[in-house]
Amino acid sequence: MFKGKKKQIISFILVVVLLLSTFATVYATPNKNASGQANAPNANATVQLKKFVYDWLNEKETEKYFSEISDAIWSYAELGLEEYNTADLIQYVMEQEGFEIDRGVADMPTALLATYKKGSDGPVIAIMGEFDALPLISQEASDSTRNPVVEGGPGHGCTHNTMATAGAAATIAVKKAMDKFNINGTVRYYGSPAEESLVPRPFFIDAGLFDDVDIIIDNHGGGSFGTSWSGKVGTGTALYSFLVTFKGKTGHAASPWTGTSALKPVELMMHATNLLREHLMYTHRMHYAVIDGGEAPNVMPDKATIWYFIREHDDRIDDMLDRVLKCAEGSAIATGTTYDVQMLAGIHQRYGNKVIAEAMYKNIKEVGMPEWSEEEQLFAKAIQKELGKPETGLRTEINDAPTGPPATFVGGASSDMGSASLYRPTASLSFPSNGPGDSHHWTSVAGTGSTIAHKGIIAGAKVMAATALDFLTDQKLVDAAWAEFNELKAERPYESRVQGIKPPLGLNKEVMEKYRPLMEQYYKEPEWYPGPWSLEEGR
């Protein structure tokens, strides 16, 4: 009888050992070969990893949690370098999940890093999050007619509330997978303020915050689901952002010979730069705003400031800057005033990495577009009708393939992620977190606070998390991305365009001090959240 039980016990132990061995084969970190590099991961292990992440992000409580975070950031609608409430919320969320927080990095109080490291080796994966809003476009969520929450106030018209949230959700999902399946490496979330002013990433680079990074996963919300690469060609435009301040002498406007108006050189510079456009390449872009031009028509201002954005191809942007600044110099000479230039930001074009983009696209195909409700489609069509566009509704198919560089460079938008992409291998995900509203417009604000955004956040987080895990578990994939990047680096080495300057703190302080008290009553803060705290501490 004892011998029979003994055989049963031995058989049971053998079964357990076999199961544990199988489990280890499926879930373990990829083994290192003789050269110290990780082998390609077990295909079944990759499937299990991603299933774990997808299942967690699909949980109703998870969806609700991140929807509440996005809605809170949407309601804060804080302009660049004033995102104190938003940074507090992101910091709290990441701390609760066990991340190490570095707040106020690169001399920006609202910038933060949230880092999780497991083991002593493995790749370092950076996941981006942006969270600043735009001025003047406050709008009620899910409302297809113009209806500001606070008249004249800011709003999230470029999906940054969803980008901040999707990036955080992806980073947390990766950490959970690293813990569950014992994966070595580092995943880090980059809380990035003032993207609309093209500020954070060049200063991150100069502060050394990307120096240990192997792969950067960027993201941007919109109406599509896809990714792109650009190789050595580059997409979008390089950009310089700067203020030109002219100084004169106050005087009574009825006796103008008694003073020197600082507004006149501003007017002259606008005219000069508009005449200059004809002699610049058709790929350039140039925009300006007079942010200080006096306070009363009968008092000549002794100070006036104009803010310029100039954009061009990396090869021509420095020449364009020189020519625009000569317009400032000439305007000062002609009006008998003095001037100074304050450089706010300088960035490169984007150089998306094809290896990362192709890995990302495989995950986009696997995740697929969210399923939109009839109500969401009707809202999208109402927005399109409001804008005078064809009423096609929300897209239901992913992009056909990762898009490459255009056959002919014609200019376009800019992002400070361009600088990051010239510093480390980078690709960006475009995920469907908004309806068809125009970007930087109140119609976009209506979408980024809706259930469309909630669904898009989860879809985007799945793809970013899955892509991060691809690179965490496959050193050969990391090496391939770096081989491509090193070819780019040899042809276009990174050069800082913010060297010697500091982030423009206080740029939006007055505006937020005006509107934040009016907006506070409409905040959508989660019941589980005890903050924010930074502004209270500063009062």
Contact 110/91 with Cβ under 8 angstroms?
no
Q: How many residues does the chain have?
A: 539
Q: What is the mean predicted confidence (pLDDT) over 186-210?
A: 98
Contact 474/481 with Cβ under 8 angstroms?
no
Q: For 432, list phi and psi in degrees, rounded to 5.
A: -85, 80
* Three-class DSSP category at 369: coil
Contact 83/104 with Cβ under 8 angstroms?
no
Could you tell me the pLDDT band of residue 285, with boundaries at 50, 70 and 90? very high
Angle between helix 451-472 and 374-386 (nearest 10): 110
pLDDT in tens, 160-179: 999 999 999 999 999 999 99
Q: Whole-angstrom Cα distance, residue 238 to residue 230?
A: 14
Handedness of CA 55, 470, 183, 118 (dihedral sign): negative
CA angle 40, 44, 46 (to 5 degrees): 60
Tell the burial category of 287 from Cβ atoms under 10 Å away from its Cβ (0-12, 13-18, 19+).
exposed
H helical segments located in 137-207: 160-181, 200-206
Which helix (H) or strand (E) is 268 found in, with range?
helix 263-276
pLDDT of 14 above 50: no
pLDDT of 483 above 60: yes
Other Cβ atoms within 10 Å of 456 Cβ, number? 30
pLDDT confidence of residue 34: 32
Contact 518/150 with Cβ under 8 angstroms?
yes
pLDDT confidence of residue 41: 65
Q: Provide the edge-to-edge strand list for the sheet that holds 303-312.
A: 285-292, 303-312, 238-247, 338-347
Could you tell me the pLDDT band of residue 61, with boundaries at 50, 70 and 90? very high
Query: CA distances (Å), 187 to each of 7, 176, 228, 241, 465, in order?
Result: 47, 11, 22, 31, 10
* Three-class DSSP category at 518: helix
* Single pTM value for the model: 0.91
Task: Tally the C-alpha atoms within 13 A of residue 411's C-alpha that lie toward its C-beta.
Answer: 13
Could you tell me the pLDDT band of residue 8, with boundaries at 50, 70 and 90? low
Q: What is the mean predicted confidence (pLDDT) over 109-123?
A: 97
